[in-house]
């Protein structure tokens, strides 16, 4: 955890909503180191999702620069951003977003269609504890199991950056803990994990906590002694 893996300089994102200009992010400066588990906190409308979208190459800043792994993705074309998403970024969504027409294994294997990976989908599924559910379709799985399929899909490509939008938001506390353990494990394996959440408790396990308010960073703290997930009272 020495070099800056992510670096945002003076990043702003403005939207026109009903003819009114709305600043989702306002001159945000921020750095994230490789292998950090980052938690972004903040109330609704603070700009958390906008920040995540920009980091994931799904949105571009109106001004400022975004560097990921030494590449200025804020200057990328749509095609370059697609490649960036396919090769560098893993996504975990609040509502899992796994394909209902594919089995658990196929949902993980889908990654092979867009990026090169040495990993075996079944092995990845086993690593998230779903080996025996590989042939099941999403509607045969519980919410937690579906989220684990989503995590397996995200880590299948061995992403440099794992972006999670409220990954435990739709889960009960026990399942949420399991999911967080998996994310912690990824960060420990040198994947940069960014979690956007409303849940302040999750911040206790993070290496780095960013608190956003009104599109600006209100607090940016490094957690020198993050708690283990089992230590966190849920």
Q: Is 94 in the site for other proteins (CB under 8 A)?
A: yes
CB of 125 to other proteins, least distance (A): 14
CB of 77 to other proteins, least distance (A): 12
Contacting other proteins within 133-192 (CB under 8 A): 135-137, 139-140, 153, 165
Do 21 and 75 contact (CB within 8 A), yes or no? no
Comparison of 108 and 209: residue with beta carbon closer to other proteins:
108
Comparison of 180 and 196: residue with beta carbon closer to other proteins:
196
Comparison of 140 and 188: residue with beta carbon closer to other proteins:
140
Do 185 and 130 contact (CB within 8 A), yes or no? no
Do 164 and 194 contact (CB within 8 A), yes or no? yes
Q: Could you give the strand order of the β-sheet that contains 89-92, starting from the edge strand earlier in sequence?
A: 89-92, 161-165, 192-196, 37-41, 208-213, 216-222
Q: Is 115 in the site for other proteins (CB under 8 A)?
A: yes
In this structure, what DSSP letter does residue 16 have?
Answer: E
Q: How far apart are CA 185 and CA 181, in angstroms?
A: 6
Q: Is 5 in the site for other proteins (CB under 8 A)?
A: no
Q: Give the contacts of 55 (CB within 8 A, at least 6 positions apart).
A: 6, 66, 68, 89, 161, 163, 194
Comparison of 79 and 224: residue with beta carbon closer to other proteins:
79
Residue 230's Cβ-count burial label (10 Å; 0-12, 13-18, 19+) is exposed
CB of 218 to other proteins, least distance (A): 23
CB of 230 to other proteins, least distance (A): 29
Count of residues that bind other proteins according to CB under 8 A: 39
Residue 116's Cβ-count burial label (10 Å; 0-12, 13-18, 19+) is exposed
What is the binding site for other proteins (CB under 8 A)?
A: 49, 52-53, 56, 58-59, 78-79, 82-87, 89, 91, 93-95, 97, 99-103, 106, 109-111, 113-115, 135-137, 139-140, 153, 165
């Amino acid at each position: 955890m020495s070099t800056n893996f992510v670096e945002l300089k003076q990043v702003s994102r403005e939207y026109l909503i009903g003819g009114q200009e709305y600043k989702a992010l306002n001159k945000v400066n921020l750095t994230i180191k490789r292998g950090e588990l980052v938690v972004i906190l903040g109330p609704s409308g603070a700009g958390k999702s906008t920040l995540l979208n920009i980091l994931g190459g799904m949105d571009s800043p109106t001004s400022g620069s975004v560097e990921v792994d030494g590449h200025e993705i804020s200057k990328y074309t749509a095609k370059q951003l697609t490649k960036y998403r396919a090769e560098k970024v893993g996504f975990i969504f609040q509502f899992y977003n796994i394909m209902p027409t594919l089995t658990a294994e196929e949902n993980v294997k889908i990654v092979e269609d867009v990026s090169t990976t040495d990993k075996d989908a079944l092995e990845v599924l086993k690593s998230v504890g779903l080996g025996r559910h590989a042939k099941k379709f999403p509607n045969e799985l519980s919410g937690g199991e579906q989220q684990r399929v989503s995590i397996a899909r995200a880590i299948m490509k061995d992403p440099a950056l794992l972006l999670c939008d409220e990954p435990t938001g739709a889960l009960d506390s026990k399942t949420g803990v399991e999911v967080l353990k998996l994310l912690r494990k990824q960060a420990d394996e040198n994947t940069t994990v960014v979690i956007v959440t409303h849940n302040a408790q999750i911040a206790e396990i993070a290496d780095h906590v960013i608190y956003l308010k009104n599109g600006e960073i209100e607090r940016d703290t490094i957690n020198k002694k993050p708690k283990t997930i089992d230590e966190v009272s849920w």
